[in-house]
Amino acid sequence: MRVEGTDLKAFGDLAMGQFFPLRIRNVTVWLQLVFLGVTLQLPTSFALNPPTGRGFSRESQACLDCHEKSSHGITQQWGASKHYRAKVGCFECHQANANDVDGFVHHGQRIAIIVSPSDCRRCHQKEVDEFEHSHHAQAGKIMGSLDNTLAEIVEGDTGFVTPAFPHGVSAAAVSGCWQCHGSEVKVIKGGKLDPATWPNTGIGRLNPDGSRGACTACHSRHKFSVAQARNPENCGKCHMGPDHPQLEIYNESKHGIAFRANLNEMNMENSKWIVGEDYNAAPTCATCHMSATKDMPVTHDVGMRISWNNRPIKSVRPEVADKKMGLPGANIDWKTRRKNMQNVCLNCHNQVYVDAFYKQYDALIDLYHKKFADPGIALMEKARPLLNPIEFTNKLDFIWFELWHHEGRRARHAASMMAPDYTHWHGTYEIAQHFYVKFLPELQHLVEKHEKHADAAKVTAADALKKEIDRVLNSPEHRWFLGKMSPEEKKQREQRAKEFKDRYKN
């Protein structure tokens, strides 16, 4: 095997811990290089022409000669990146193979606009492998889900017509759901990308080469700043809003407050970024879910430290969700993942503190399940025969959806990140308010509407729903609503009220 034009002088950056991609045309192997006593494994899957005077391949230098004039901002961003210092240029990332459907010839070189995880894998194999096993890479599966039904049908229309969508597609889905979850990128004539599906940096993007995901969802091109990737606002592009306000929750928490107060102590630009060693003022999203500790390496599978998946109507253990998606995480139980997260926590907190926090968190999950999720599921099951079968044509569909999808998620996510206002006022308070003053009244309205219906099946369904409402309201969690508080409980509450008044009477 011969590498043409390799200039060992170009490997000088290795002495400073930098990286130089050695690539051989049409071959994908691993080459082990020993240089100055340092052993590195370098991916070799590209062509490498003799470097120019600036140290870049001739192909990349040709790109720069033009784009330094036409796209000055992009080249400046790239010039501040580690890719620049490692002499990884435009062509090394954007070159396309002959069978890439989105490839096209541009000034004599076959390139592609999209740099997919498969392209990044040439140099970052471990990171891409971990990412592809994560829920992030599966985010594009929202297509056809309940959420996407809302954006495509309930909220949207078919007014956005493009070559790939001659019958139209919903602009609400294109500019909303797809920008976080990822579009299925469609290639049209000449390797061009359909404007309904590109630009898009959705983290679960379905790429033309068959890969899933977008590394640039977090590592924004062309600087690929590690500090930006570690910053909470980076995650806030998607993790915010009424149904999953993690950014707002983090900002409210003591962690978020400490981060903003001590930003200059965070060493965000450090290549080595180990909590407890390189910084200790505060954790960011990356700290807890991805970054290194003294005992654990960086991971790009953000589910490996999560012990509850709070996305569904009822929280489930992450290995259950992974099994449903066919991910290898199905073999890693929640207890292992919780230990991983605790490994992060213990850099700042002691074991007693951490254990007590998890008891609080689990208790909130248990409360939500017993008082609202389980009864809500049972009530909706009994109500379904009385509803229009087309979802979201019923008032009850919207009420129930917001109960679990918005308020229920908020309470659970907030408890997981120690944000009391979002746990209570934006969470359990709103769940309770809407359960009692919207959800139950609408269910009772259905009963009244159908208990004397001409259709005997409707009458039977109404009776079953009425019995379920009675069962729920007479349960220990809800009987207060009927004024059926037990004497013991009533006495306890009166005593606590007296203690409160005595405490503050002066």
Residues 152-163 have pLDDT tens digits of 999 999 999 999
pLDDT score at 51: 65
pTM over 0.85: yes
> What digits encode the pLDDT tens for the residues 331-342?
999 999 999 999
- In the chain, % helix, strand, coil (3-state, to 5) comes to 55, 10, 40
For the chain, what are the domain ranges? Answer: 8-95, 128-217, 353-473
User: Is a pLDDT exceeding 80 seen at residue 52?
Assistant: no
User: Is a pLDDT exceeding 50 seen at residue 6?
Assistant: no
pLDDT band at 53 (very low <50, low <70, confident <90, very high): low
Tell the burial category of 199 from Cβ atoms under 10 Å away from its Cβ (0-12, 13-18, 19+). Answer: exposed
Cα separation values, 415 from 105, 211, 409, 424, Å: 52, 35, 10, 9
User: Could you write out the three-class secondary structure of 369-401?
Assistant: HHHHHHHHHHHHHHHHHHCCCCCCCCHHHHHHH
**Average model confidence (pLDDT) for the chain?**
90
3-state secondary structure of 449: helix
User: Is a pLDDT exceeding 60 seen at residue 77?
Assistant: yes
Please state the rounded mean pLDDT for residues 255-271. Answer: 97
pLDDT score at 146: 72
3-state secondary structure of 84: helix
pLDDT score at 50: 57
Neighbouring C-beta atoms of residue 443, cutoff 10 Å: 23
What's CA 91's distance to the chain center, in Å?
30
Neighbouring C-beta atoms of residue 126, cutoff 10 Å: 12
Phi, psi (degrees; rounded to nearest 5) at 151: -70, -35
